[in-house]
Amino acid sequence: MAVPSRQQFRRSLGSSPMAREADGIYDAAIRGGINPAFVAGLAAAESSYGTAGYARGTYNPFGLGVHLGWKFRNYSEATSKLAKTLKGNGYPGLFKQRGLAGIISRYTPASDGNNEGQHFRNIVSYGGRTGGDARQVYTTAGAQPASPSVQGGANVRDIGAVGGGIDTTQLLGLLRRQTQNLRSGRGYDRNLGAQMRQLVISGIGQRNIGGGNVPGAATTGGTPGDTGDFNVDSLGIGYGGVDSRQITRGGEGGDWGGSMPRALQFLGWAKQSGYQPNTSGRWLSQKRSRQRTASGGVSDHWSGSGTSYALDLGVPNVAEGDKLLGNIMRYFGQPSYKGGSWLNINRGGYRYQIGWRTPGHYDHIHVGVKKL
């Protein structure tokens, strides 16, 4: 049996901290379309069920975004995040090609000093204690658990039925904040409304694309720096060739080595902040035929670079650019960056480069991403 029963899953967690949330973790896994046996196996292999290393006190038993300092409110939220991560970043395609070994090759790659073979064996062994088969990472997308368990007691069965990719924990949080605004007399917050709409649209889109035809489903306004699971279709821009200023497929894996969704997530964050592309002074530039930057380097925009993608967000004036930069940097987890120099950060095997208020960058914010 590939997927364990709820009772088997509970027993496998023993007396670990995760055992207190066994039902919520199980539900989050099923709702997100991943096998609870794999969840248990990964948690055991990464952190001894949340008892070792970084997992202690962070509710992060899976090693998600450790280099970014990711923390969660509970293990159920972490499991939902794991499910969303595995539906993007090219993971479904890797699983089709190589099974669990393909997942591990990107999640804990040997290039980062990991022993992929040992990690595989640990996940399968610990996952097998549930009575399930951890090698079968995915279940039926959007399958509904028998008894949804959500923080605060809300029942989101109907929300989950709309699309298996919707982050219901985040959506409920936004709904509560909007309700508080209305009750306090502050009125309707359009930014919160936009975030809720984007979550729903992205979740539906994730189900409709089959969990991987486009690399991933959007996570908008989520954990800072999480940019690899973004559904580029949700932007509503359309696709075109090089120099078209539209989304351009190509390069490694058809998504420029995973750099395309990571770069375009910044446009998703910009749109949540009220940015309307292709209106007065708000132009876009993406892949283009010109190879060199103004300073003579190889541009991430260049179509000849198969593992990079870049986005220029045009702004009508510096004041609007400052505001836009502040908004997207909060999402990215770098609120202290105000421009005036280049910001270069390596995260999760990718180099992110942000430029604003530098020579030639007073009418647009540059976002470049390159696979390392």
Burial status of residue 188 (CB atoms within 10 A of its CB: 0-12, 13-18, 19 or more):
exposed
Question: What is the longest distance spanned by two Cα atoms in the chain?
Answer: 62
Which tokens in the block code for residue 234?
Answer: 């949700």
Beta bridge partners of 298: 292
Q: How many degrees, rounded to 5, is the angle at CA 93 between CA 230 and CA 130?
A: 95
Q: What does the pLDDT look like over 77-124, one tens digit per residue?
A: 999 999 999 988 888 988 988 899 999 998 988 887 888 889 899 999
φ/ψ of 104, rounded to 5, equals -65, -35
In whole angstroms, what is the distance from residue 187 CA to residue 4 CA?
46
Residue 325 has pLDDT above 70, yes or no: yes
Mean pLDDT of the chain: 79
Residue 358 has pLDDT above 60, yes or no: yes
Nearest to 94 by CA among 104, 85, 84: 104
Most confident of 94-98, 265-269, 354-358: 354-358
pLDDT at 124: 92
In whole angstroms, what is the distance from residue 157 CA to residue 27 CA?
11
What is the Cα gyration radius of the chain? 21
Q: What percent of the chain has pLDDT over 90?
A: 40
Cβ distance 207 to 161 under 8 Å? no
